[in-house]
Structure 1
């Protein structure tokens, strides 16, 4: 029989506690995800219409770091990051729409698009981006995740928080709308 002093002696022999190991694993894992996926997540936020894509991605990694222990598995981390980027972009766009409407009401002006941004895109690209921007949010998100991020339906469903069947519907309707818009342009 071991008394309390035997347990204390054994505990003193352990070099690191389990909490420190988990913390180190989290640091390494988040750092690896950041270096490997940061650019694609920024691209995702930009394609969804974010003005501050780098800030949104930084916030996503912050949220991942804080909630690391709550993940089902470490394999779910990338899907979690994508969903945070999508949700934060939605929130920012909603906020900007409200702010711009209020500004327009106050000043009586129409919204202006940056001339530098338009000059950088070629004519066809401009048309696709304009047609993409005119789509409903869910269709635009599904198309960006499917064709620019090259995700599978299940990954898109997880990122958007919808079913795979809904992903198919949004992609199909979005592609039909883009096709109509590009045919009208010709």
Structure 2
């Protein structure tokens, strides 16, 4: 029986990991951190897999786990620390800022909740109600954050900007 559960989970991970990684990257703007977020979320999902799989809530649960992991990581003390050479002594694997897409850069300037709403609504194409359920907020709050986030994205990414 355990092999069946493991096989189902493995199939789910193989199918969804690339999309989850892109989702996590849109939240944090760093591929290495995105991999860490997805890995943490998948561990949580595996532990709850039996319950989730019978309810058909795997997709929602793993996205919520990525979101929660992202918020938790941001609260860790070492994420708040900055070294004096920050930005001057980058790792070999850290992509240069000019190589990042403009959209991801602007997403990183949005407040956390706006970023989460924009990513869920417009990158994952969830409805207002689905986004509200994912984040545990009201549909009105989703609309408000989405509107502010869209306005900020338009302001920064507008082609008329010089």
Work out the CA distance in 2 between the residues paired with 1:35 and 1:74: 20
Work out the CA distance in 2 between the residues paired with 1:158 and 1:72: 19
Work out the CA distance in 2 between the residues paired with 1:103 and 1:150: 35
Kindly indicate which of the two structures has a greater share of residues assigned to helix. 1
- 1:64 maps to 2:45: yes
Q: Provide the secondary structure at the position in 1 that maps to 2:95.
A: helix
Work out the CA distance in 1 between the residues paired with 2:117 and 2:18: 19
Task: Decide which of 19, 42, 45 is 2:24's aligned counterpart.
Answer: 45
Work out the CA distance in 1 between the residues paired with 2:70 and 2:80: 18
Task: Decide which of 5, 11, 15 is 1:36's aligned counterpart.
Answer: 15
Pairwise mapping of residues 76-155 of structure 1 onto structure 2 (< 5 A)?
Answer: 76-95=57-76, 98-99=77-78, 101-104=80-83, 109=84, 111-112=86-87, 116-121=95-100, 125-126=101-102, 128-155=103-130
TM-score when normalising by structure 2: 0.79
* Number of the residue aligned with 1:13: none
TM-score when normalising by structure 1: 0.70
Does the 8 A contact of 1:26 with 1:65 survive in 2? no
* Number of the residue aligned with 1:7: none
Q: Provide the secondary structure at the position in 2 that maps to 1:71.
A: helix
Go from structure 1 to structure 2 and tell me whether the alpha carbon gap of 1:153 and 1:31 turns closer, same or farther (over 3 Å shift): farther
Does the 8 A contact of 1:139 with 1:170 survive in 2? yes
The one-character-per-residue Cα deviations of 1:134-166 (angstroms, maximum 9, x if unpaired) are: 111011111112222222223322322223332
Q: Which runs of 4+ in 1 moved over 6 A?
A: none
Go from structure 1 to structure 2 and tell me whether the alpha carbon gap of 1:100 and 1:55 turns closer, same or farther (over 3 Å shift): closer
Count of residue correspondences: 155
The structure number with the bigger radius of gyration is 1
* More divergent stretch after superposition (171-180 vs 160-169): 160-169
Does the 8 A contact of 1:143 with 1:174 survive in 2? yes
